[in-house]
Structure 1
Amino acid sequence: MQYGPAVRRRKLGAELRALRARAGLTSGEAARLVGWHQSKVSRIETGRSGVKPADVRRLLDAYDVRDPELYELLVVLAGADGDGRHHWWHAYRGLLPSTYSDFISLEAQAGAMRTLENSVVPGLLQTPEYARAVTRAALDGVPDGKIDALVEMLVKVRLARQAVLRSNKPLRLSAVLDEAVLRRTVGGPEVMARQLDRLREAAHLPHVRIQVLPFGVGAHIGVTGPFVIFSFTNRSDLDVVVLDHLTSSLYLEQREDLQSYEEAFNSLQGQALSPEDTLDFIAGVADGA
């Protein structure tokens, strides 16, 4: 188990090592091609040191990597650019925890996201009013003079993240929601009513699958806590599980951990209502059933 930056370095290094081998180069030959010492290539490949996006580009060009999606993904895994190329969340550097920035970068580049939520609607599906209420509750204890500006900044970030569902190649989102997510009145009845409408709208998108896990199921494997699984197109070795805690996020990337969470998610989907029955269920909750 590792935290975001360490996982990102390890995954990036392993992929660069595989690409170098595929190009038929030793680490020393790769280093000479880009004008470095061999030790620098080794440190990058083992994840012992970070690497700038510009340096990742030099290696990818040296290895003749022509897959644009893989190229961009590996550059993003390196973090913020030093050559003028920035992603939208870099504007919040210094304001957001590094683990949250890591989460956003993975979310922006993933091909698919599977998530179990036990308490609140997933951030990608929240309305502004619901997001504001959830964020304010999560910041309990922040001084009154600072909380309003902080809430608005975090809500702005959360809504900006939702662009992944509207892009040319939208994120494929599969969400299993415990019934408690629908029953918990966040922000008041009017806010919750609009949020339920938003869930029904999102459920009709071809790349979004929402299922409710009703109370009648009883105890299930998801009671241990919410989680997210990010998957990358044609790159299963880059998949990662994210677990949120009160003050940090934990990233799991070992094959056995991924398999356990994938099996858990498949089990939860099997126990949950079908997407069609979920729509009827949400409508019933909205009508007060």
Structure 2
Amino acid sequence: MPGGGASTDRDPADGQPRWTGPVAAAWVLGALLRELRERRGLTLAQAAPLCRASTSKLSSLERGRRRPLPQDVSDLLSAYKADEATRADAVIWMTMVRAGPDADAHLDVEPGWQRRLTLFTAAATRAEHWAGVVLPPPLQTGRYARALADALLLPEPQRSGYVRQRARRAGLMAQEPGGTTVLLDESVLHRPVGAAEVMVEQLMHLRHFAARGVDVRIVPAAGALTVPPTAITRLVFGPPGPDDVVCLESGTSAFYLTSTADTVPHQEALRRLARHAVGHDAGVRLVDEAIRLHQERLPDGPGDSR
């Protein structure tokens, strides 16, 4: 993705030069502003004067096609009566936008990073996840997420917030499971996270989504491929969205990559993993086998999954 500066390309909405800065952050910020405007029941023509803009300028801002100015964004947030959490999100997106070319790689460790990652994910039309240690957050059950929060030794209220945001991401997945590919190292199915009943519930949850259209692919543990240790998420946006975004997520932060030089190697890594993974049906059979093994660890035997 290009860095800052102007382009000779023209925006069809107003004929002005199209801005080609760090559009991923600007696009999500614009989507946030559009959602707030629509929530207030305002048209573009009604909202434009609130930031001293023309209708076409506000439209371009909402589509991530114009560099957002801090004062314009602040005025709109005030007019839309945005809450503090939404304002905090907008500040982070503005930080990414104003960083110019440096925004091609942005580390978000600020409070609310999971909420902002949720906004990014919700805006995507397709998502590809790789996980080599634990299940991807959008597929985690509440008890699985709680066990991970306990393992991270997060203090309250961060621990509850961690679980709450993961539940929100899981809710988005439940609404629209199609368009998602999940690549998992086979060890993820067997690595205990919480008690045995937590794992049985979690893998049955994964099985449920596999039946609803999520493409579950398993990379066999006995394979010869050296797998990435970091969880990788590739987000694909439909027109007129930005180029692909790659997110490297840890338990406490998200690292966004948007430049082609950075995203292409990760896309190639995902393709390589897909080539070594078994097909969907074989992957589901591996999930079923892992469920059976975890059921054997239940205190009262296979029938007790609580």
Q: Is TM-score (shorter-chain normalized) higher than 0.5?
A: yes
| C-alpha distance 267-45 of structure 1, shift in aligned 2 (>3 A) | closer
Aligned: 1:200 with 2:207: yes
Q: Is the 8 A contact 1:111 1:171 kept in 2?
A: no
1:218 equivalent among 224, 246, 252: 224
Which one is further off, 261-270 or 120-129?
261-270
1:90 matched to 2:82: no
RMSD: 4.3
Is contact 2:132–2:229 with CA below 8 Å preserved after alignment? no
Provide the residue aligned with 1:24 in structure 2: 15
- The amino acid of 2:277's aligned partner reads A
Give the drift of 1:85. Answer: 6.8
- Residue from 284, 287, 290 that aligns with 1:285: 290
- SS of 2:222's partner is helix
- State the shift of 1:45 in Å: 6.3
What is the DSSP-based 3-state SS (H/G/I as helix, E as strand, rest coil) of the residue aligned with 2:135?
coil
Partner Cα separation in structure 1 for residue 250 and residue 165 of structure 2: 19
Alignment partner of 1:177 out of 152, 177, 184: 184
- Identity value in percent: 21
Q: Deviations over 1:163-217 (max 9, x none)?
A: 32243x65621110111211111111111111111110011112x1111111111
Per the alignment, residue 31 of structure 1 pairs with none
Which stretch has the larger CA shift, 276-285 or 239-248? 239-248
Pick one of 142, 162, 165 that aligns with 1:154. 162
Normalised by the size of structure 1, how large is the TM-score?
0.70
- Residues 1:26 and 1:281: Cα distance change in structure 2 (over 3 Å): closer
Aligned equivalents of 1:163, 1:16: Cα separation in 2: 39
Q: 1:89 to 1:288 in 2, by over 3 A?
A: farther
User: After the TM superposition, which residues 1-289 of structure 1 pair with which residues of structure 2 at under 5 Å, given as runs?
Assistant: 20=11, 23-25=14-16, 46=21, 53=33, 58=48, 61-62=55-56, 71=62, 81-84=77-80, 90=86, 97=111, 99-138=113-152, 140=153, 142=154, 147-167=155-175, 172-206=179-213, 208-220=214-226, 222-235=227-240, 237-245=242-250, 248-288=253-293
TM-score by length of 2: 0.66
Unaligned runs of 5+ in 2: 38-43, 92-108, 295-306
* Post-superposition offset of 1:227: 0.9
Larger relative helix fraction: 1
**Offset of residue 15 of structure 1:** 10
Aligned residue for 1:267, secondary structure, equals: helix
Q: Is the 8 A contact 2:184 2:217 kept in 1?
A: yes
Question: Which residue is equivalent to 1:38?
Answer: none
- C-alpha contact 1:211 1:275 (8 A) present in aligned 2: yes
Matched-pair contact (CA < 8 Å) for 1:60–1:71: no
**Number of residue pairs the alignment of both structures matches:** 251
